[in-house]
A and B are shown apart, each in its own frame.
Chain A
């Protein structure tokens, strides 16, 4: 009975547009859904460093290399903002990292595709970060305070990610025929997976309705996807590349660019672990964890030594 009243008050607060803070009463379901969502988001930022990290040492100029390095470092920071936001809900970061390393936790499908050429770095910044911005701009307004604030910080950094990628796309699209071919090929490969980033159709997305009721999400997967398509069609035109969809056409009545059907079989197959790079990513993550152990040990040893020194001089 008490919980029913609390739930009513909780939902009234959300209805009024108030933010929920860590110590406030919340339904258990809100808590678990947020932990799942925020940790998946965090894991995605961390895995997201792998496909791009692949090209840091082979960037075509120092300028491009500095940008890519800074971008990848930002993604590490995004992962850390998000793990801390999840921790406010009563989980330890090590639990989340453990679920990630064991393969139990999910992360965004998009990072299970390979980066075959330098042009992929352009396509990722433009399309993948572009799609992420659409999603994260919404999440910056979500009902859970710490998650909203983390996304606000993330959004401030994402614009640079997108623009550095878009500049690569535009430059290559005005280059020699081989460069133009290379960038068009990358756009062709990244376009559909980018659309899949918004998740299944609303009717096939079991969590969507509940998340929207509690204003964790403010727009549906399909609405966000449409927003992304509308933005991107114009940018493709300005860049001088085409999007690989013969069904793409403008609807003057809705002011939307309608697009063809997404290959959902491919989407679910990648979710189940059969994407081109799922195993590679997991292997790289585990190796990084093991090979980074000495850094954590050294930090611990240093802290212990400093403490001992302070105790002696006290």
Chain B
């Protein structure tokens, strides 16, 4: 039995992978991979997340460069949006604009 090797050399930086599956669609987070630099990160991402032609574009970004919200702060962070119902059309009362009888008959 060979000796147990040192696993430390497998710990490259982690990259988050964003994939656009069809043109016109948004890039969506697919998962993460390890790679020593951005070029190899893209190649690894292709091999892991697009082996069946499910991508037209890909982004990779090193995980440490992503700034994210903290769940505990969610109430105060997202709260300001909750009481601004006037940002939705349902807030307003306006009359319904209907077709005239003549317009309706004309369409039939």
Contacts and interface: CB of A to CB of B under 8 A. Distances in A.
Given A77-B48, A80-B33, A306-B37, A101 B1 contact: no
Interface string A248-267: 00000000000000000000
Given A279-B1, A283-B1, A286-B1, A149 B31 contact: yes
A293 B10 CA distance: 9
B14 interface: yes
26 contacts: A23-B70, A24-B71, A25-B71, A70-B51, A77-B48, A80-B33, A80-B48, A81-B31, A84-B32, A87-B14, A93-B11, A93-B34, A97-B7, A100-B7, A279-B1, A283-B1, A286-B2, A286-B4, A293-B9, A296-B9, A299-B12, A302-B36, A303-B37, A303-B40, A306-B37, A307-B37
Contact of B68 (A23, A102, A300): A23
Interface string B25-60: 000001111111101100000011001000000000
B67 to A, nearest CB: 12
A101 B34 contact: no
Contacts of B107: none
A276 interface: no
Given A92-B11, A299-B36, 14 more contacts: A21-B71, A24-B71, A73-B51, A77-B51, A93-B10, A98-B8, A283-B2, A286-B4, A287-B2, A296-B10, A297-B9, A302-B36, A303-B36, A306-B37
A94 B10 contact: yes
B40 A299 contact: yes
Interface of B: 1-12, 14, 30-37, 39-40, 47-48, 51, 68, 70-72
Contacts of B33: 80, 84
Given A84-B31, A93-B34, A74 B51 contact: yes
A300 B34 CA distance: 12
A170 B40 CA distance: 41
Contacts of A73: 51
A270 B64 CA distance: 41
B8 A94 contact: yes
A35 to B, nearest CB: 16
A300 B33 CA distance: 15
Interface residues of A, number: 41
B10 A97 contact: yes
A150 interface: yes
A283 B4 CA distance: 9
Interface string A84-121: 10010000111101101111000000000000000000
Contacts of B7: 94-95, 97-98, 100-101, 289
A103 B3 CA distance: 11
Given A21-B71, A80-B48, A299-B40, A94 B11 contact: yes
Nearest to B41: A303
B4 to A, nearest CB: 5
Contacts of A290: 2, 5
Contact of B39 (A81, A94, A283, A306): A306
